[in-house]
Amino acid sequence: MRREQFELFKKMLKKLNENSPFYKEKFRSSQININDIRSPEDIKYLPFTTKEELNEAYPLGLQAVPEEDIVRIHSSSGTTGKPVIIPYTANDINDWADMMARCLRIAGVTPLDRVQITPGYGLWTAGIGFQTGVERIGAMAIPMGPGNTDKQLQMMIDMKSTVLIATSSYALVIAEEVAKRGIRSKIHLRKGIMGSERWGEKMRNRIKDELNIEIYDIYGLTEIYGPGISIDCQYHTGLHYWDDYLYFEIIDPKTGEPVEEGQYGELVITTLRKEGAPLLRYRTRDITRLIPGECPCGLPYPRHDRILGRTDEMVKVKGVNIYPGQIDELLRDIEGASSEYQVIIEHKDGKDIMTLRVEKEPAADPTALGRKIAEEFKKKIGIHIQVDVVNIGELPRSEKKSKRIIDYRYN
């Protein structure tokens, strides 16, 4: 943690302790004296904030400034029936627009671009978050919102949109329609900015090729401003995040302890400047890792990896946390392996045994492929597994990736 970052962190703690009824009570009940936090190493003693607590604070229990300072609210769906309401001050809105503008500039968007925004507007943060960022850099926003693909395509052609902002699944719908209608020559898109959800490389390539665009992954969540807290640059080696606004930690979701540098785990975020609803060590439930070292682009902002999935998809085998997204990534880099796989975990003779069943491309040699996968697994994920290579079409198909892991140990 940088020195300036820790100074911001301490200032933030002091403000929470003075102004936030939610955190005052939290510090009291967990017997935390914020004056005991003297170095970055002490941060791990501070309590986490969970989505359940945000639900319980409904509607405005998180508010940490007087009523007259709040200028807007947004909301996200909750884990229970109640949504989470996040109040924003004018400074929060301004900071968020600055962060989004930074994202757009890194993606190479200029004042000459015309940006078609297809995520939803309203209580949802996506549409309006992009909108304010686009306006901040002086590009032209085309605030479509979601759906109505006919109209989207008509505007895309008539307005000569150059940047498409969409979820990956909606971008695929657009790409397929463009191909079906044979209108690619009328499309002027050059860039796409898409949410960092876990999506297959095949889908990404399809969108890229059909629309002839470069794709940037953007990340964010309503609890922490909204989209725009990180984005990947032209080197696509991970997403740069804004450490002058946010402090990122990666923890083991089972134990709550910090993981080793560069390891996957749950992303935990502390807002360093937020006023309306500041959050301390918020558990996002998103799985990623911090990427050590510097990016070739030379930007001063650190990087995290793409989001590999959600904490509830995690399994622990031989003491190592494994996420389906990690296996996707691993198989993607191995020639001859298809993206279809199934994991079987058993407990025999006092030991965990993991079998990875993988479908192979028709030309691949099953023995060599099996050996290669086992080697890579040991090298990248750290445990020895058994590999069972099967032919295309042999494994069951499921929409949900988490269904690919069958754990017999607790049955």
Question: Backbone phi, then psi, for 260, in 5-degree steps?
Answer: -65, 155
* Contact mark string toward Zn ion, 197..236, x via CB under 5 A: ------------------------------------x---
Contacts with Zn ion: how many residues (CB under 5 A)? 4
Residue 64 or 103: the one with the smaller Cβ distance to Zn ion is 103
Position among 203, 297, 353, 406 found at the interface with Zn ion (CB under 5 A): 297
156 in Cβ contact with 173 (< 8 Å): no
Residue with tokens 């945000």: 54
Smallest separation (angstroms) from Zn ion to the CB of 83: 35
Smallest separation (angstroms) from Zn ion to the CB of 101: 17
Distances (CA, A) of 273 to 60, 77, 243: 19, 24, 11
281 torsion bin: left (phi>0), alpha (psi -120 to 50), beta (else): left
Residue 291, interface with Zn ion (CB under 5 A)? no
Residue 295, interface with Zn ion (CB under 5 A)? yes
Q: List strand residue ranges (DSSP E) for 169-281, in order.
A: 191-195, 214-221, 226-232, 239-241, 246-251, 265-271
Residue 103, interface with Zn ion (CB under 5 A)? no
Distances (CA, A) of 327 to 60, 114, 178, 321: 40, 38, 32, 12
Residue 108 or 146: the one with the smaller Cβ distance to Zn ion is 108
Smallest separation (angstroms) from Zn ion to the CB of 207: 21
Smallest separation (angstroms) from Zn ion to the CB of 300: 10
Smallest separation (angstroms) from Zn ion to the CB of 100: 17
Distances (CA, A) of 390 to 48, 338, 394, 401, 402: 44, 10, 7, 19, 20
The stretch near Zn ion (CB under 5 A) out of 79-87, 118-126, 213-221, 292-300 is: 292-300
- Of 248, 273, 268, 282, nearest to 57 by C-alpha is 282
Residue 165 or 295: the one with the smaller Cβ distance to Zn ion is 295
* Contact mark string toward Zn ion, 233..262, x via CB under 5 A: x-----------------------------
Cα gap 274→94, rounded to integer Å? 11
Residues that bind Zn ion (CB under 5 A): 233, 295, 297, 299
